[in-house]
Amino acid sequence: MIILGIILLIIGLVASISILVTIGIILIVVGLILSLLGATGRAIGGRKTWY
């Protein structure tokens, strides 16, 4: 999710498409939150790891 967010962010910046930049930032933030919570051992939605 983080990698997809980075890719969308880069494409959005290069192509000047603001919706891709917004979606990219949202995916990066959500991916980081899920990653941090998974690293602490807290299950989210019944899963301990999110890929």
**Which pLDDT belongs to residue 36?**
85
The partner residues of 47 in beta bridges, in order of sequence, read 44
CB-based contacts of 4-7 (< 8 A; 24+ apart in sequence): 4/31, 5/29, 5/30, 5/31
> For residue 50, is it within any domain?
no
**Which pLDDT belongs to residue 9?**
93
> For residue 7, is it within any domain?
yes
> For residue 49, is it within any domain?
no
> For residue 21, is it within any domain?
yes
Tokens of residue 21, six digits = 């930049």
| Digit-coded pLDDT (tens) for 1-51 | 889 999 999 999 999 899 999 999 999 999 998 888 877 777 666 666 655
**Which pLDDT belongs to residue 39?**
78
> For residue 25, is it within any domain?
yes
Domain residue limits at 18: 2-39
Task: Provide the number of structural domains found in the chain.
Answer: 1
Question: What's the CA gap between 9 and 48, in Å, rounded?
Answer: 27
Tell me the whole-structure pTM to 2 decimals: 0.77
**Which pLDDT belongs to residue 34?**
83
> For residue 46, is it within any domain?
no
